[in-house]
Amino acid sequence: MEWWIWALIIIAALIVITAIVFFCVSIYFFRFTILRKPTATLDKNINANNDWHKHVPFIEERKKWLATKKLEQVSVTSDDGLKLSATLIRNENNSNKVVICFHGYTADGMTNYSAMSKFFYDEGFNVILVDQRAHGKSEGKYIGFGVLDRHDAVKWIDFAIETFGKDCKIFLHGTSMGASTVLMTSGLELPDNVKGIVADCGFTSAYNVFSHILKRDYHLPKFPLMNLTEMWTKKFAGYGYNDVCTLDEVKKTKTPILFIHGDKDDFVPTYMSEQNYEACQSDKKILIVKGADHAESYYSGREEYEKVVKELFEKYGSDCKTATE
């Protein structure tokens, strides 16, 4: 047999082997990324690179406060029939102010917001700590990365109005994946009750953040892995990575948005919030917290964080009432 025939056989074999390898790797990344997984802890937090242990005393102190409050387990049903759960903390002052909180990837409402919920409560808010689909106590096999969760967010907005009255004033707060959820929600037709949004370290799209992690952690190219994993996601989870982009949604929103991001974040790069801020066409503000890693801004820059969030509450929810007013 001629040498060139052997060469063609070897090249063909290498192509087939490479294709099989990429095919298998794509299945691994789909299962690793999209399928439901156990809730992350401080010791096993896929999102964070910083030393979270330095924040443990503060978090534990806030957890003790949370344990003194009556926590109600509430639920809504998603458009595709999933039972979605949340923890409701009713403000003792019978307020008509509500903040709905959306956690990050592999977390849940109580995990991400056990510390921050006291801040919201002290500002007179009823607090709804949502477990996004395929997280916490909510049903679901596949993680929605904001694309599916934005419609779930509307269900929680409707729940808040039904629970606290047609004149209630609602703010949305999201962290990491939850921030992208609320930004993607911002482009939908929302009731006037929604007065403002806080997006803490959100990504611009599932495609962009996956591509970033693929390069940062695995030194692998986007093509063909992103194409293959998206194929599985579309088939089983029902959405594509670019189906919804926050940049497109904030261009058409009318809801005021406060963007927050740590300048040391390399899980969701800071430039993604900066891009969202530039694209946003509603009233907007951005806070870049110096020295803060991913989802760490509240803990390392709490004073300035609370200051800008209070300003948002006061500016757009000033007509809110409590029973003591």
- Band of the pLDDT at 44, cuts 50, 70, 90? low
The pLDDT tens digits of the residues spanning 85-104 come to 999 999 999 899 999 999 99
- Band of the pLDDT at 165, cuts 50, 70, 90? very high
Sequence-distant (≥ 6) Cβ neighbours of residue 295 within 8 angstroms: 47, 48, 104, 112, 175, 176, 200, 201, 262
What is residue 68's predicted lDDT score, i.e. its pLDDT? 96
Contact predicate 178/104, CB 8 Å? yes
What is residue 145's predicted lDDT score, i.e. its pLDDT? 97
What is residue 318's predicted lDDT score, i.e. its pLDDT? 76
State the residue for tokens 């008509």: 96
State the residue for tokens 């001629």: 2
The pLDDT tens digits of the residues spanning 59-88 come to 999 999 999 999 999 999 999 999 999 999
DSSP per position, 2-51: -HHHHHHHHHHHHHHHHHHHHHHHHHHHHHHHHB--PPP-SSS-SS--S-
Sequence-distant (≥ 6) Cβ neighbours of residue 85 within 8 angstroms: 73, 74, 75, 131, 136, 137, 138
- Band of the pLDDT at 31, cuts 50, 70, 90? very high
- Band of the pLDDT at 16, cuts 50, 70, 90? confident
| Rounded average pLDDT over 14-22 | 87
What is residue 7's predicted lDDT score, i.e. its pLDDT? 81
- Band of the pLDDT at 132, cuts 50, 70, 90? very high
Q: What are phi and psi of 175, to 5 degrees?
A: -120, 125
3-state secondary structure 126-175: EEEEECCCCCCCCCCCECCCCCCHHHHHHHHHHHHHHHHCCCCEEEEEEE
What is residue 53's predicted lDDT score, i.e. its pLDDT? 83
Nearest to 230 by CA among 242, 248, 214: 242
pTM of model > 0.95: no
Q: What is the Cα–Cα distance from 208 to 193, expressed in whole angstroms?
A: 31
The pLDDT tens digits of the residues spanning 214-249 come to 999 999 889 899 999 999 999 999 999 999 999 999
